[in-house]
Chain A
Amino acid sequence: MTNSEDKMTWKDVEIGCIVTKPGSATITQTGDWRSRRPTYDFSKCIKCAICQTYCPEGCIHQNEKGNYVADLFYCKGCGICAKECPKKVITMIEEKE
């Protein structure tokens, strides 16, 4: 894990595990249990944003070229985007490393 929780000792635990800083979900890497990742053939993409709407992690954003891509820090590899894309832009491939 790359977030700060792996360094936390029991003495750092707040009273009753209270979370005192907002936005702790943004530092939690949900992408580390992914076993497959999305790859793209953007030549077929019609920029309909269906993949972004369906992604349960909310991790698909438009890049500078206007293409919809997953942020792999959060993408958990569920494949919902690939299933929902009407143009078959997205192919799930196995994570090797």
Chain B
Amino acid sequence: MAKRTGIEVSIAVSEAVKLANTDVIAAYPITPQTHIVEHLAELVAQGELNAEYIPVESEHSAMSACLGSSAAGARTFTATAGQGLELMHEVVYVASSMRLPIVMAVANRALSGPLSVWGDHSDVMSVRDTGWIQIFVENGQEAVDNTICAFRMAEDSRVLLPVMVHLDGFHLSHMVEPIMMPDQKEVDEFLPPFNYPLPLDPSKPVTMGAFAPPIVFTEAKWAQEMNLEQSKDVILEVWKKFGDKFGRYYNPVECYRCDDCETLIMTMGSFSETAMMAIDKLREEGKKIGLFRIRLWRPFPFEEVRETVKNAKAIIVLDRAISLGMGGPVASELRNALYPLEKRPKIMGFVGGLGGRDITPTDFEKIIKRGLEIAAAGSNREFEIYGVRE
């Protein structure tokens, strides 16, 4: 039987990777992902996980080794963060275009410079367009559950795409939380063995990663786009099956006290739980404010987002990254998603919580207050930064 354990979230992610019977882990340690790969190295060294652990010399090599092992038909995991994700950047695209179902945990971290090891979503935003399925988790339980789900989504023969599980560096990765760890038998029942349809096999040679001249490149890219868009059905199916078995259900867009709300706040990642506290307080004061979070970042859940906000007049977005010269990346994607609506809500973008800075429930209250002020004034300001000292 599954039992509830007090455990550090990073360690719990490694334990989930072990429960998934992963065959190969190729990773390079980087703050704040370190505990995940450290613990996996221990599990392999102690013989608790029968896997190949490849201690590479850089993240570029980590992802390259993952390509090879996944192409050979091995269940493959890696983890990284911030600068590490940047160093593996070019190979991240190759994993999805080669349709290799690697699972990667990203302990989200700010990008240099100035140098920062603390958390925000800059690293996520730099890999938006890489063709991976991307899922945000908010607490340790979700990190464990979605790591297990990620393997099933990735390896489904209708999908065959890599999956990133985003968890906030430090704010989530280093928390000790009570987590229901599923037992091995349940995970074995849930997760079928990985059968890559065209693996590297000397008796049936194929060429992988070949050159595509202009005459086929467009077709190749469109095939990839169609594949990523269509993966959503399988993602929903896997979450449903997981929920039916384990009792915890996940959705592309998650709502908290959203019904009948004209004002919504939107976040991604672990700060959502802090926002809920602010929502509860404001609700007690009789203010009708709700919260929604995008869990499935890619493929982007257009329909679910439009459905969620259909009655909203104002949406306040907290972006934990800044697209310099443009504003908040999530707010701008939301504007893009809602533009076709006839009754478009006003969107107030805030950038905050950068490089590890806390956003407390009181901060959320201030952000909401300021957002409503801007909405009332009818300002078209693209975004504001929250909490900067003037």
Chain A residues near B (Cβ < 8 Å): 1, 5-6, 8-20, 22, 24, 28
Contacts and interface: CB of A to CB of B under 8 A. Distances in A.
B222 A10 contact: yes
A17 B210 contact: yes
Nearest to A20: B206
7 contacts: A9-B219, A10-B223, A13-B216, A15-B197, A16-B208, A17-B98, A24-B207
A6 B215 CA distance: 6
A94 B222 CA distance: 38
A10 B226 contact: yes
- When A and B form their complex, which 3 residue pairs have the shortest distance between CB atoms, in order from nearest? A16-B99, A19-B207, A16-B98
A17 B208 CA distance: 7
Given A10-B222, A11-B223, A17 B212 contact: yes
B213 interface: yes
A13 B219 contact: yes
Contact of A17 (B205, B218, B220): B220
B198 interface: yes
Contact of B213 (A5, A10, A11, A15): A5
B223 A5 contact: no
A11 B304 CA distance: 28
A22 B210 CA distance: 12
B97 interface: yes
A36 B209 CA distance: 32
A24 B213 CA distance: 13
A43 B99 CA distance: 56
Contacts of B226: 10
A8 B214 CA distance: 12
B157 to A, nearest CB: 9
A14 B198 contact: yes
Nearest to B225: A10
Given A10-B223, A10-B226, A11-B223, A17 B215 contact: no
Given A13-B220, A14-B198, A16-B98, A1 B215 contact: yes
Q: Which of A1, A12, A15 has the most CB of B within 10 A?
A: A15
Interface of B: 97-100, 160, 197-198, 205-210, 212-213, 215-216, 218-220, 222-223, 226
A16 B207 CA distance: 10
Contacts of A18: 98, 198, 206-208, 210
Q: Which of A13, A20, A22, A28 has the most CB of B within 10 A?
A: A13
Given A10-B226, A11-B223, A16 B216 contact: no
Nearest to A15: B99
Given A6-B215, A10-B220, A22-B207, 9 more contacts: A15-B197, A16-B160, A17-B209, A18-B198, A18-B206, A18-B208, A18-B210, A19-B210, A24-B207
B305 to A, nearest CB: 27
Contacts of B216: 5, 8, 13, 17
Nearest to B71: A16
A75 B207 CA distance: 24
Contacts of A13: 216, 219-220, 223
A6 B217 CA distance: 11
B215 A16 contact: no
Contact of A10 (B160, B208, B219): B219
Given A5-B216, A10-B222, A11-B223, A17 B206 contact: no
Contacts of B99: 15-16
Given A8-B219, A10-B222, A15-B160, A20 B198 contact: yes
Nearest to B100: A16
A5 to B, nearest CB: 5
A87 B136 CA distance: 70
Nearest to A12: B219
A80 B122 CA distance: 50
B207 A15 contact: no
A43 B206 CA distance: 46
Contacts of A8: 216, 219
